[in-house]
Every structure is written in C-alpha cells, then in structure tokens.
Chains A and B, each alone.
Chain A
Amino acid sequence: MFDIIFRNITQRKLRTGLTVFGIALGIFAVIVMGGMSEHFNQTFDRSISLTADKIRVFPEIGFGGGNLNESKAREVKRVPGVADAYGLLQAALDPESLGFFGGDVVIGVEPEKFPSLLKDTKLSEGRFLTVGDGYRTVLGSSVAREFNLKAGDEMQIKSKRMQRTSSITHARNFTVVGVMEYTGSFFDNGVLIPLNIAQKFYNRGDTVSFILAVPDPNVDAEDLSKRIELNVENIKTFSPEQLRKQIEQSLIVFTLITISAAVLAAIIGGLSVMNTMLMSVSERTKEFGLMKALGAQTRDILYMTMGEAAIMGVLGGICGIIGGGALVYYLNDFLASKGTVLFSVTPRLLVIALVFSILLGVLSGLYPAYRAAKMSPMEALRYE
C-alpha cells in the first residue's frame, strides 16, 4: 500500500510541498524555541550543581537591597555546622545593562575561596587569583571569547557610583591572569576579581552582595539554613533547595512561553495538513467509492489517507529539524562571538520534535481520513 501512498504524495508536488513547508515551519519553531528553553534549563542545572552544596545568606531587606557587612560572614561561620562562610560582591559588567539573563557579571571574591566557589573548574590558560593580587582578573570562557581576551591582556571595567543625584562612571584596566574552561554554568559569564578590589572599585565599603555558607560534611543544608537564620540577625537564608525552587519557578514561566509559541506554530502546520488532506480526499471521493466497490475495507482507506498525512508530517518534521538545527547552529556560532550561547538542541528535543511532527500529521489526517472511509460507496461513485 505504501507505493500508492507515495504515488499520491508525489503526484501533487506543489500542494505536498506547501503542506510539508507548513509543518516544517512549525517544527522549526519547536526546535528554535525548544532549543532556547533547553539551553536555559541546562545552564540552570549546571549552575545549581556547582553551588548546590552552599547556603546563600542575603540581607533581610531583599536581594541586593540592603547592606550586608562582611563581618556577618564571621558570624555565620560561628554557627555550628558551618564549615566556611565568605562574602561575594556582584555587579553587572556593563553598568548600563539591566543584568538580565546571560549578562556578564563581575564577581568579587577572596582569592583563597576560589577552590570552594568554583569546585573543580579548571583553567584553560593562566592562573587563578592569589592573595595580594590587585587589579587582576580571571575570566569565564564566554567573557574571554566575547572580548577576545587572553591571559596577559588588559580589560577595561566600568563602575557607576551614585553621588547624591548624579552618577559618575569610572573605568579601570584589569590584567587578565587566567581564563576558565567552559562550564556551561553562569561562571562562563563571570569576571572574577579580588573582593577587596571590588569593594573599592564599586565604592561599597566593606559590604558584600551575599554570603555563601558551606555546611560541614554530613550536615543537612536545609536544617543548617534555618539555624543560620535563627542565630544571625538581620539576614535571610536561601537553602540550595529554596534556590532551586525559586529559579525553577521563573524557568517554568519561560519554558511555558517558549513551548506555547512553538506549539502554536506547529498547530498552524497541522491545520495546513488538514486542509490539504480534506482537499485531496474530496477530490478523490470517486476513487474511494471505487475502491470500496472493489472490496476495500474501511481500514484500507484509513491506512492510505492517514499514511499520506503521516508521511507529510515526517517530511515536514525532518525539514523543520534540519532548518531549525541549521539556524540554531549559525546563531550559536554568531552569538558565541558575542559571548553567549542561546540554544541547545538536545537529543531529547530532536525526539520530541520528530514524534510531534508525526503526531501532527496523523492527528490532522484523522478527520479527513474518517470522512473518506465513512462515505457510502454508492454516494461516492455518483459524486462528480
């Protein structure tokens, strides 16, 4: 039967082409949007796994709103069960940017805390910061790529300081001493500088943005998080679990938006298959009547029409995957030179896209096929 299906598809080249194109566009959207969502999920997963063992301590008034004195780190460290605690200062690399997704971030950290912060992240060149380093920096891989910097180069960093009603922008050259390997986490967009330099450069006195508390081995991070909150005043803690939930929530919204856009596009593709199938079925009404007179069963006719729809679905799916994959590949390549990567086309996504395209073809072929199969042979034969 397959050869007959194939014959019918190739017979109407333009129409088949347009339909396949409709599906391809839908699947293209699934790949591009899905790829974006997959990428954010992956970055999130890797970032979480790099910092999953640590508790975040924020000033009570909220993220970055209040001031958190460095001395709080010592208080946190005194809580039983805390192995280590240290402050980090965070600022957007580009002071004009809003610090949205994927923006580069300057992180001030005491050089001796590097191993704790970055775990086993390796350097692709140069060295880490050491105690006593001045205006020196270690770059995340994406930042290094974006600004085309190597160990030994100079990098200009700007800071914006508020002075009463106006703000003054300062700029300083930092010497790149090392570049980190690609981690797939937000550290790729990090510009690491010594904490004391960061405080001076951003005019933050001896405050930090937040404190990381490392629990002793075998201490439950959730319990410890609550204990820190009870023992240290004017702070709020975020256990790894809370953090995960917090980020997951914002990711879900993002994922929903991207997925519904993709699904919408795909449904439009599906409608185009349905339209084509309805047309081709009503055109062949007499043919189906004849087949019934020859003894075709309902399922023979269903098989032929559904097969046609499914094949168009698969063809569209393959074209969409190739097209979407190509666009994502070139976009990623282009964006990499700008320091970010936006899409990950994972095997999971490919499978979803392909299954989706077949389903789309079959589902939208269902109704036309049913109409063809249910026709009375007599009526069909009289049809002109």
Chain B
Amino acid sequence: MNDPIVSVRNLSKTYMQGKIPVHALRDVSFDVDKGEFLSIVGPSGSGKSTFLSMIGLLDKPTTGSVFIDGIEVTKATDSDAPRIRREKIGFVFQHFNLIPTLSALENVDLAMRFARVSKAKRRERAVELLTQMGLFDRMNHKPSELSGGEQQRVAIARAMANHPAIILADEPTGEVDTKTRDMIVELLHGLSENGQTILIVTHDTAVSARTKRIIRMLDGMIESDTKVEGY
C-alpha cells in the first residue's frame, strides 16, 4: 500500500521542571496515511500539545524520530527546520495567533513570503483560500475586526497556503461557540475530503466524533487508537 505520510517511532519527551523530570511523551509510535482526518484526545497534561510540537518541529524530542514523507525531520538541523516547517506543516492554534497589525489577506500572504513565493502568486493563492473559507468580503479586515470563527478560518487558510503535507491543529475550536465549532469542523472535514491530511487535538467529543480515527492519550502514552467504521 501507500507509504505513511507521517511516521512516529518511539517518540519520548522529558521536560525538566526545575530538577523534577516530567515525562510528557513515553515511547509513542504510530503512522498517519495520506488524506487521513484524525483526532488526538485525552485529559489535560497527557502530552497532546507536546506531541504536536514534535511533529511540527517546534521542539526536539528527547529520543525517537518523526518521519514526514519519508524524511526523518527530527534529524533536521536548525537551518533546515524552517524549510521543512514551510513545506510540510500547516499550524492552526487554539488562540488563532494571527498577527494583529496585518489584515486577513496579509496574514495568509505572510506564510508564503517566508517560502519566497512571488507577490502575484501569493496574492492569487491568498484570495483563493480566503474565498474558499467564505471570507472573500472580509479579506482586508484586521483580526480585531473579525469574529473568533472568522479569525480561525483565516488561520486555516494560512495553514493551507504552502500546500503542506499535514495540517496540525491544536484545539482549533477551543475558543469558539458550538455553532462556529461545527462550521470549522465542517471546513476541515471538507479539506480532508479533498485529500488534505489533518491532525486535530481536541477535548471536544463532538469534534473527535467527526474524524475518522481517534487516538486517545494518557500520561504520555497512546491508550487507544480507534478507526471509525466506514472509512
């Protein structure tokens, strides 16, 4: 069959809180196939965010490796990491994390600037994505002039900008009401239908219920990995 788009092998992360070691991840291994729409759930402190930041190269694991598209990204040097983040990863955060001084369009545009995409192409892609997110008429608004749901849609558009291999979303619906939550989940669902690989960390069972695979974490380990029927 197809090679997995993400492979995690024996990943461990130990933080030092003063002199006390905190084992945020303990020997985690699993694969994600292309186009999968999966969620990671589990109690607070079980290591979900830590796990996401290892895949997204925001932090280095203590031991173990992550492969994306067959490349061992955990071996990437500090100078290679930005390129891998640009080309392979799209992040969506709980707090939207848009740059407050830039408009919606510019926020999406910024992600492509770092990838040295030409100005005309950047604009074309940003407009296309924001239109797809239903924000065509909000493009020139600053984040402070947008609702939470709109901001998160801008963030999703930004995550998509460089055609990433995988989108990593850490509690993307943590700060919006249920109606907006449903809309965001539908949006992500739609993207996954088009072949986009998406990994969501969530506390919300209504969100995980929409995904096709649920990984449950506990104390830094995978407690269960359930594929939903019909996939």
**Which residues of A approach B to under 8 Å, CB–CB?**
1, 4, 7-8, 11, 286-287, 290-298, 300, 376-378, 381
Contact = CB atoms under 8 A, between A and B. Distances in A.
B59 A291 contact: no
A286 B98 CA distance: 10
Interface in B78-115: 78-79, 82-83, 85-87, 89, 91, 93, 97, 99, 101-102, 110-111, 113-115
Given A376-B59, A378-B53, A295 B111 contact: yes
A292 B85 CA distance: 8
B89 to A, nearest CB: 8
Interface string B30-64: 00000000000000000000000100101100000
B82 A292 contact: yes
B175 to A, nearest CB: 15
Interface residues of B, number: 25
Nearest to B54: A378
Given A1-B113, A300-B114, A286 B97 contact: yes
A295 B110 contact: no
Contacts of A376: 58-59
B95 to A, nearest CB: 9
A295 B101 contact: no
B155 to A, nearest CB: 10
Interface SS of chain A: helix, strand, loop or mixed?
A: helix
Interface string B182-217: 000000000000000000000000000000000000
Nearest to B98: A290
Contacts of B56: 293
A296 B87 CA distance: 11
A295 B97 contact: no
A378 to B, nearest CB: 4
Contacts of B85: 292-295
Nearest to B50: A378
A294 B53 CA distance: 13
B173 interface: no
Interface string B4-38: 00000000000000000000000000000000000
Name, among B56, B59, B87, B101, the residue most crowded by chain A CB atoms within 10 Å (CB to CB). B101
Nearest to A3: B106
A381 B91 CA distance: 12
B8 to A, nearest CB: 18
A295 B158 contact: no
A361 B87 CA distance: 34
A293 B110 contact: no
B99 A295 contact: no
A295 B76 CA distance: 13
